[in-house]
Amino acid sequence: MINPLRGMKDLTFEESQRFTHIIDTATRIAQRYGYSYIETPILEETALFKRSVGESSDIVGKEMYQFEDKGGNDVCMRPEGTAGVVRAFISAKLDRQPVKQKFYYYGPMFRYERPQKGRLREFHQFGCESFGEASVYEDFTIITMISQIFNELGIGFDLQINSLGCKVCMPRYKENLIASLTDIKEELCEDCNRRIGTNPIRVLDCKNEKCRLLLAESPKLIDYLCEECDPDFKKLTALLDKAGISYEVNSNLVRGLDYYGKTAFEFVSNEIGAQSAIAGGGRYDRLVEFLDGKPTPAVGFAIGIERIMELVQMPEVQREGIYMGAMTEEAVEVLFPLAAEKRKESKVTVEYNSKGFKSHMKGADKANAKYCLLIGEDELKNGTVWVKDLESKEEKTVLREAF
Ligand code: HAM
């Protein structure tokens, strides 16, 4: 027997219903905010992720599904959605148009991580990317939209926010951070020591308990924000306060992807164990330029579908559609034209085997149909059908064409 690969899962039955309910809900809300659907390839040139997600990130450094294709190209299965959407935005020359563009997407992402609860090698994201709007109002609107998605899905969350500064304040901060980290270097873990050289702000994100304690005293980016970033961050918190969206400022929130600047955020659930981030995102005003497009401010997020799967409160299932069955062999084929007609507007389940009354009623119940339509000897002879409304329990016999 061949099983799925480690860290990869089939989505069937109840889980697939949860999956489609999440996608449908998020799609409906994203469309209300003016987002339109974008589909980009799963395979991209490896260079795209190296340049956007960043060479020093764990994703690029350790987790890429990277290989050489038959034409000798260095390609990679996307580990996230933003890079591909930005590439598509530039490929379509949308960076040269003055109009703002907003895209939503969903689909599989691939990261060669050590699988555990909530951490898969193939997982799915629903994401949004908004291009051309530099105002912090857009960051606020995006956070509002994610809150609305989680509220409609019945999912509780904690929101953490931070500002990662810009090219003015970040270098100043980095210098101070490196100096302070160098002082405690000996006591920090191996990973932290490597990161001091490659990407020092990622040290703040270390999960090691001893490092966390040591880092509590290190300089905070929030204290270094420049004249532009500081008022923007204050405006964002004021807007969230006003909207009644509670949040926590987490100055150690640095995100695992290198393209962010200014606003960064994560939605966290305390009901799903260690892998608690259910959505993450932020502003990435320099990425379009970095990938050779015209400078374009942008902000976005992605929700991890598998992580919220168990948390979703599913709507009550309603009886729907028609179950059609025959009680004699000759009547079976009479069902097909009837089914074809009804399928123009309703869900129809046709039972191909002729059966007794009780067995059909069971079948209709199992199909969760609203109506059960049966044709027996009498109905066949008279050109009628017997129909029962399984909600109101009302029964009637009517001419076939009248149903
Ligand atoms: P991310 O934080 O790497 O951001 O991923 C977003 C979400 O995907 C996470 O919060 C988590 O719920 C889910 N996720 C990540 N890795 C796994 C995994 N191995 N197994 C299951 N779920 C996972 C991004 O990917 C950015 N592209 C988000 C973004 C869009 N930023 C701006 N625009």
pLDDT in tens, 186-199: 999 998 999 998 88
Domain ranges within the chain, ordered by starting residue: 13-169+225-308, 322-402
Ligand 1 binding pocket includes 302 (Cβ within 6 Å): yes
Ligand 1 binding pocket includes 332 (Cβ within 6 Å): no
Candidate from 126, 307, 309, 311 with most ligand 1 atoms within 8 A of CB, to mutate? 307
pTM, full prediction = 0.94
Instruction: For ligand 1, atom 18, name the residue with the nearest CA.
Output: 119
From the number of C-beta atoms within 10 Å of its C-beta (0-12, 13-18, 19+), residue 152 rates as: middle
The Cα–Cα gap between 327 and 379 comes to: 10
Give how far the C-alpha of residue 285 lies from the chain's centroid of Cα atoms, to the nearest Å. Answer: 22
| β-bridge mates for residue 129, sequence order | 103, 300
Contact status, residue 327 vs residue 354, Cβ threshold 8 Å: yes
CATH topology of domain 322-402: Rossmann fold (3.40.50)
Mean pLDDT over all residues of the chain? 96
Of the listed ranges 107-111, 179-183, 299-303, 391-395, the one predicted with least confidence: 179-183
The Cα–Cα gap between 279 and 265 comes to: 8
DSSP code per residue over 249-307 = E-TT---SSTT--SEEEEEE-TTS-S--EEEEEEE-TTHHHHTTS----EEEEEEEHHH
- Average pLDDT for 159-165: 97
- Average pLDDT for 350-362: 96
pLDDT over threshold 90, residue 307 = yes
Q: Tell me, what's the pLDDT at 205?
A: 86
**Helical (H) or strand (E) element with 163:** strand 158-163
Give how far the C-alpha of residue 125 lies from the chain's centroid of Cα atoms, to the nearest Å. Answer: 3
pLDDT over threshold 90, residue 248 = yes
Candidate from 109, 124, 130 with most ligand 1 atoms within 8 A of CB, to mutate? 109
pLDDT in tens, 86-128: 999 999 999 999 999 999 999 999 999 999 999 999 999 999 9
- Percent of the chain scored above 70 by pLDDT? 100
Per-residue pLDDT band at 217 (split at 50, 70, 90): confident
The CATH class given to the 13-169+225-308 domain equals alpha beta
C-alpha 354 to ligand 1 mean position (Å): 51
> From the alpha carbon of 59, which atom of ligand 1 is closest?
3
Ligand 1 binding pocket includes 261 (Cβ within 6 Å): no
Neighbouring CB atoms inside 10 A of 252's CB total 17
- Average pLDDT for 294-309: 98
Instruction: For ligand 1, atom 29, name the residue with the nearest CA.
Output: 301
